[in-house]
A = this chain, B = another copy of it.
Amino acid sequence: MDPDYLATLSAIVGSAHVLTSADDKATFLTDWRGNFRGEALAVVLPATAQAVAEIVLASQTARIAIVPQGGNTGLVGGSVPSPGRPQIVLALKRLREIRAVDTANRTITVEAGVTLAEVQARAAAVDLLYPVSLAAEGTAQIGGTIATNAGGVQVLRYGNTREQVLGLEAVFPDGRLWEGLQGLRKDNTGYDLKQLLIGSEGTLAVVTAATLRLSARPRQQQVAWAGLSDLAAAARLLTRVLADAGDRVTAFEVVSDVCMTLLANHLSLANPLTEAAPWNVLIEWSDPNPDAPLKDWVERVLSAAFEAGEIGDVVIAQSEGQAAALWSLREHTPEAEKRHGKAVKHDISLPVSAIPEFVRTTDALLAAAFPGALIVNFGHLGDGNLHYNLTGRTGADATAIYAASASVNAIVYDQVAKFGGSISAEHGLGQLKREVIAHYKPAVALDAMRAIKAAIDPHHLFNPGKVL
């Protein structure tokens, strides 16, 4: 390493913002779940896009790799260093400015280090909605949600982060700052670079700011919880409620009865239905118009679904508190699973139409291969996104199954491929799925990705050991 490199960084951001001691660096070098740990020469904390550009240029010259880091809430090791070469962590948390809120254009322009929750709050303050919502929103930073194309619970209605981004400001590996912060809904002037950068997990550019689309804020919501006999009924119910209410349907989540047992056993959360069913669905409807007879419509469509035999017992929340309690069941499912024991986790997506048969056949394959297995299945059915996890009936079974993670993954991912799905719906590839994706993605697509990476980042300066 060039001995002047760290001095150059200090000259750019000030020595207080170049962390080199093990203690100072520690939290930046491991992911929050503690699954990935790396080394870095330094953690550098710039406060402006211009400083980011200067750091990149200095690193390019010194051939030191850069790991961009936002809230470090990812699940695949994408935001911490991987082994193999000298690198720094470039933490964006000091890029904190909300640069503009344009109510007439329904856009907000924020720097990368602003948290998702802060963007939501700023939008709400002007009676608009930033619709990306996920468990880590208090910590996750906008830059990271863009780098990973974050999803969450409202994708059915509003799309992924990809659909929210109208403009980007980013630093390319050659150290140049791209000022592409346009707030335009239509722009056909060549390749859509922002779409290429979104979801590229920091391997092509470092996002320093974004202009995000805001939506109309819902003024009323209804939440229902219903029991179903199987996932085929859930798919039919989804078709029914969407035909009836269109994009007023803002969430359509499924939770299996196994999850309900875990919720009861480990968190004392009771099933809201008088009679437990093999499957549960949580549906949320929203409307910006406070006068819309939303509750009447919800009751009518659920009556029709009951008469058609799609659902059994059903509860419609009678208050915001009850709605929150129903949501709490869905949201606490990962925690209940964690208390039960180790689990092999999956974040898969499939065509909705393929889900019933996928689950039936994959359940059977896993039961045959792992007789002590317990399948913990829940997720965003409306988006075709399941968190299809495997644990054991006992703690010992769970430990054995976790030790066989690779075999479990092979069964699940082969099935996902067979049914035309994706092995990473919303978490990305990072370090975790970087190697396995090569088995499931066509060579022509992998080659195109490699060619693009080499063209934009010929020295593989940005986030090495991730994605590709």
Task: Give Cα A172–Cα B447 distance, bound, in whole angstroms.
Answer: 11
Q: Quick one: which of A293, A444, A451, A467 has the most chain B CB within 10 A?
A: A444
- Please give the distance in Å from A60's CB to the nearest CB on chain B: 14
| Complex interface: chain B residues within 8 A of A195 (CB) | 162, 192, 195-196, 198
Structural contact, B190 and A216, CB atoms closer than 8 A: no
**Is residue A418 contacting chain B, with contact meaning CB distance below 8 A?**
no
What's the tally of chain A residues with a CB closer than 8 Å to chain B? 99
A104 is contacted by which of B190, B353, B427 (Cβ under 8 Å)? B353
- Known: A105-B352, A184-B350, A351-B102. Contact between A189 and B424, CB under 8 A? yes
- Known: A102-B353, A247-B216, A451-B455. Contact between A444 and B187, CB under 8 A? no
| Complex interface: chain B residues within 8 A of A218 (CB) | 246
Task: Give Cα A185–Cα B379 distance, bound, in whole angstroms.
Answer: 13
- Known: A105-B384, A429-B189, A429-B190. Contact between A184 and B351, CB under 8 A? yes
CB proximity to B under 8 Å, residues A192-210: 192-193, 195-196, 198-200, 204
**Is residue A407 contacting chain B, with contact meaning CB distance below 8 A?**
no
Give the segment of A3-11, A43-51, A284-292, A359-367 that binds chain B.
A284-292
**Is residue A148 contacting chain B, with contact meaning CB distance below 8 A?**
yes
Q: Mark A156-193, 1 if CB is under 8 A from B, else 0.
A: 10011011000000001000111110111111111111
Q: Quick one: which of A102, A291, A440, A455 has the most chain B CB within 10 A?
A: A455
A188 is contacted by which of B354, B383, B425, B449 (Cβ under 8 Å)? B425
| Complex interface: chain B residues within 8 A of A162 (CB) | 192, 195
Task: Give Cα A238–Cα B105 distance, bound, in whole angstroms.
Answer: 10
**Is residue A83 contacting chain B, with contact meaning CB distance below 8 A?**
no
Number of copies: 2
Structural contact, B353 and A422, CB atoms closer than 8 A: no
Task: Give Cα A426–Cα B184 distance, bound, in whole angstroms.
Answer: 11
**Is residue A103 contacting chain B, with contact meaning CB distance below 8 A?**
yes
A246 is contacted by which of B163, B176, B288, B420 (Cβ under 8 Å)? B288
Structural contact, A179 and B442, CB atoms closer than 8 A: yes
Residue of B nearest to A197 (CB): B191
| Complex interface: chain B residues within 8 A of A236 (CB) | 104
Task: Give Cα A238–Cα B102 distance, bound, in whole angstroms.
Answer: 13
| Complex interface: chain B residues within 8 A of A454 (CB) | 455
| Complex interface: chain B residues within 8 A of A199 (CB) | 188, 190-192
**Is residue A433 contacting chain B, with contact meaning CB distance below 8 A?**
yes
- Please give the distance in Å from A67's CB to the nearest CB on chain B: 18
Structural contact, A178 and B426, CB atoms closer than 8 A: no
| Complex interface: chain B residues within 8 A of A190 (CB) | 199-200, 429, 437, 441, 445-446, 449, 467-468
**Is residue A311 contacting chain B, with contact meaning CB distance below 8 A?**
no
Task: Give Cα A444–Cα B205 distance, bound, in whole angstroms.
Answer: 12
**Is residue A24 contacting chain B, with contact meaning CB distance below 8 A?**
no
Structural contact, A183 and B420, CB atoms closer than 8 A: yes
Q: Mark A441-468, 1 if CB is under 8 A from B, else 0.
A: 1101110110111111000000000011
Structural contact, B420 and A182, CB atoms closer than 8 A: yes
CB proximity to B under 8 Å, residues A291-321: 291-293, 297
**Is residue A226 contacting chain B, with contact meaning CB distance below 8 A?**
no
**Is residue A141 contacting chain B, with contact meaning CB distance below 8 A?**
no
Structural contact, A444 and B177, CB atoms closer than 8 A: yes
**Is residue A155 contacting chain B, with contact meaning CB distance below 8 A?**
yes
Task: Give Cα A236–Cα B103 distance, bound, in whole angstroms.
Answer: 10
Task: Give Cα A72–Cα B453 distance, bound, in whole angstroms.
Answer: 33
Structural contact, A155 and B191, CB atoms closer than 8 A: no
A385 is contacted by which of B185, B204, B289, B383 (Cβ under 8 Å)? B185
6 pairs from A and B in contact (CB 8 Å cutoff): A156-B185, A188-B426, A189-B437, A190-B441, A192-B195, A292-B297
Q: A184-B422, A191-B467, A192-B198 are in contact. List 11 more A-B contacts (CB 8 A).
A: A176-B444, A177-B444, A178-B445, A183-B420, A188-B199, A188-B422, A190-B199, A190-B441, A191-B204, A193-B449, A195-B195
- A: residues with CB less than 8 A from B are 102-107, 127, 148-149, 151, 155-156, 159-160, 162-163, 172, 176-180, 182-193, 195-196, 198-200, 204, 215-218, 235-236, 238-239, 242-247, 287-289, 291-293, 297, 349-354, 380, 383-385, 420-429, 433, 437, 440-442, 444-446, 448-449, 451-456, 467-468
